[in-house]
């Protein structure tokens, strides 16, 4: 990782972040980052990659999928976790 890198911002506010940072933060295919001001007197900002939204079925949709099964699904056995 470099100690210092530069970035050019166009007049419409677009810019390209350094490739090493995009790869290290999982944004090589693009994504969303949070931007926070540091309030250090130099107009510095902190960029934090936001994790992608979770994908999958919601509980109601999953229940609908299971209700279509030809055989009833037995409820899983519960067990106490070791730290309780």
Identify which of 74, 81, 71, 7 has the alpha carbon closest to the alpha carbon of residue 45: 7
Model confidence band, residue 1 (pLDDT cutoffs 50, 70, 90): low
CA–CA gap between residue 5 and residue 49 (Å, rounded): 18
pLDDT in tens, 12-61: 888 888 888 888 888 888 888 888 988 898 988 888 888 877 777 788 88
Residue 84 scores a pLDDT above 60: no
Assign 9 to helix, strand or coil. strand
CA–CA gap between residue 15 and residue 5 (Å, rounded): 13
Strand-pair partners of 26: none
- In the chain, where are the structural domains located? 1-73
């Amino acid at each position: 990782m470099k100690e210092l890198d530069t970035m050019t911002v166009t007049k419409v506010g677009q810019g390209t972040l350094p490739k090493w940072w995009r790869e290290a933060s999982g944004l090589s295919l693009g994504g969303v980052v949070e931007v926070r001001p540091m309030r250090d007197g130099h107009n510095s900002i902190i960029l934090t990659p936001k994790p992608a939204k979770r994908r999958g079925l919601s509980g109601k949709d999953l229940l609908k999928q299971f209700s279509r099964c030809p055989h009833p699904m037995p409820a899983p056995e519960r067990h106490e976790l070791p730290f309780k």
